[in-house]
Amino acid sequence: MDHNQKLSLLKKTAIFRNTPETDLAAIADILDVISVKPGDSIFLKGDKGDSMYIIQKGVIRIHDGAYTFAFLKKNEVFGELSLLDAETRSASATCDKESTILKLEQPPFYEILAKDQEVLKGILQMLCRRIRALDEKSAHE
Amino acid sequence: MDHNQKLSLLKKTAIFRNTPETDLAAIADILDVISVKPGDSIFLKGDKGDSMYIIQKGVIRIHDGAYTFAFLKKNEVFGELSLLDAETRSASATCDKESTILKLEQPPFYEILAKDQEVLKGILQMLCRRIRALDEKSAHE
């Protein structure tokens, strides 16, 4: 998987959709490509987490034991809160169908955030949008 | 209101509680002190926002027309999402009892975020904690 393929995948994710391509190049450089088979565990609920994953192809199940929260497919992202705050994982992630996923780790990502205001603004906007959406949802329940 | 008083107020807020004092000094330097009287509008729902406020003393009402969401008191913060993403205000803020509030604006704050990883980590952790708490709340509703 070459640099341009990584770049093109980043552009399709909700988290980096609005980040300029020049800024994404630095992130593409620090992505690790991982192949997983059905049943492989990516992380367990309660693990200390400091990385996020992007699905290039395949299906990943997000679950708590037997209870499934979501089946995630290509261009979807998981584990992004732990990328930012390094808290423990609130759910497990297990490969459901043969998948290729890209891993983004916290230390090099924080260096990019500190250097690049556009990436930083994109991340902060994404987080604020989620809080606004959840606030709105809980106000109407 | 001098530098040390501003610093001591920042340390009491949820958003900056875990930020080292040396890092807070730069933020204390860019706070504007504003006095408001009962009935004074601080911002209206729908305004474009790019600043956050910290209450030093008094009471501020957060509302949508006649419907009140909250009465906020000393050491409490409001408008913090707009500080970060510069979206429109989701509620109005009006002075309820004579208050002194400190205003923190986005452009100088972003410069500090880019220079200071500790402040940046504190902000990202605060946002992630809110998302985790709201996620948990909506999972149990």
The domain spanning residue B118 has which CATH number? 2.60.120.10
Smallest Cβ–Cβ distance between A87 and the set B84, B123, B128 belongs to B128
pLDDT digits (tens, 9 = 90+) for A77-126: 998 888 888 788 989 999 999 999 999 998 888 888 878 877 888 888 88
Quick check: B114 and A114 CB within 8 A? yes
In the predicted structure, residue A9 carries a pLDDT above the cut 80: yes
Instruction: Give the structural domain span for A31.
Output: 3-139
- A141 shares contact with chain B (CB less than 8 Å): yes
Q: What is the DSSP letter of B61?
A: E
Write down the pLDDT at residue A84.
Answer: 83
Complete DSSP assignment for B16-71: TTTS-HHHHHHHHHTPEEEEE-TT-EEE-TT-B--EEEEEEEEEEEEEETTEEEEE
- Read off the pLDDT of each residue in A56-78 and give the average, rounded to a whole number: 94
pTM of the model: 0.72
Please name the residues between 81 and 110 in chain A that touch chain B, using a CB distance below 8 Å: 81, 84-85, 87, 90, 110
- Tell me how far apart the alpha carbons of residues A94 and B113 are, in angstroms, rounded to a whole number: 35
In the predicted structure, residue B31 carries a pLDDT above the cut 90: yes
Residue in chain B lying closest to A84 (CA):
B124
Quick check: A120 and B135 CB within 8 A? no
Residue found by looking up tokens 């009465």 in the block:
B71
| Selection from B1, B31, B37 nearest residue B13 by Cα | B31
Mutate to test the interface with B, among A50, A64, A85, A115 (most CBs of B within 10 A): A85
**Residues making up chain A, counted from first to last:** 141
In the predicted structure, residue B141 carries a pLDDT above the cut 80: no
- A129 shares contact with chain B (CB less than 8 Å): yes
Single-letter code of the amino acid located at B139: A
Quick one: pLDDT band at residue B95, thresholds 50, 70, 90? Answer: very high
Higher pLDDT, B6 or A110: B6
- Read off the pLDDT of each residue in B21-26 and give the average, rounded to a whole number: 86
pLDDT digits (tens, 9 = 90+) for B52-87: 999 999 999 999 999 999 999 999 999 888 888 878
Q: Measure CA of the first residue to CA of the last residue in chain B; give whole Å.
A: 45
Quick one: pLDDT band at residue B99, thresholds 50, 70, 90? Answer: very high
- B131 shares contact with chain A (CB less than 8 Å): yes
Quick check: A85 and B141 CB within 8 A? no
How many structural domains comprise chain B?
1
β A67-72/B77-78 pair status: unpaired
Give the ipTM: 0.71
- Read off the pLDDT of each residue in B96-123 and give the average, rounded to a whole number: 87
Smallest Cβ–Cβ distance between B85 and the set A110, A125, A141 belongs to A125
Q: Considering just the CA atoms, what is the radius of gyration of chain A in Å?
A: 15
In the predicted structure, residue B107 carries a pLDDT above the cut 70: yes
How close, in Å, is residue A1 to chain B by CA atoms? 31
In the predicted structure, residue B119 carries a pLDDT above the cut 60: yes
Smallest Cβ–Cβ distance between B117 and the set A90, A114, A129 belongs to A114
Write down the pLDDT at residue B1.
Answer: 84
Across the A:B interface, residue pairs with CB atoms under 8 Å apart total 74
Question: Contact B125/B60 with Cβ under 8 angstroms?
Answer: no
Write down the pLDDT at residue B104.
Answer: 93
pLDDT digits (tens, 9 = 90+) for A39-53: 999 999 999 988 999
- B113 shares contact with chain A (CB less than 8 Å): yes
Residue in chain B lying closest to A126 (CA):
B85
Which positions in chain A touch B123 (Cβ < 8 Å)?
Answer: 124
Write down the pLDDT at residue A140.
Answer: 57
How close, in Å, is residue B141 to chain A by CA atoms? 8
- Read off the pLDDT of each residue in A13-35 and give the average, rounded to a whole number: 87
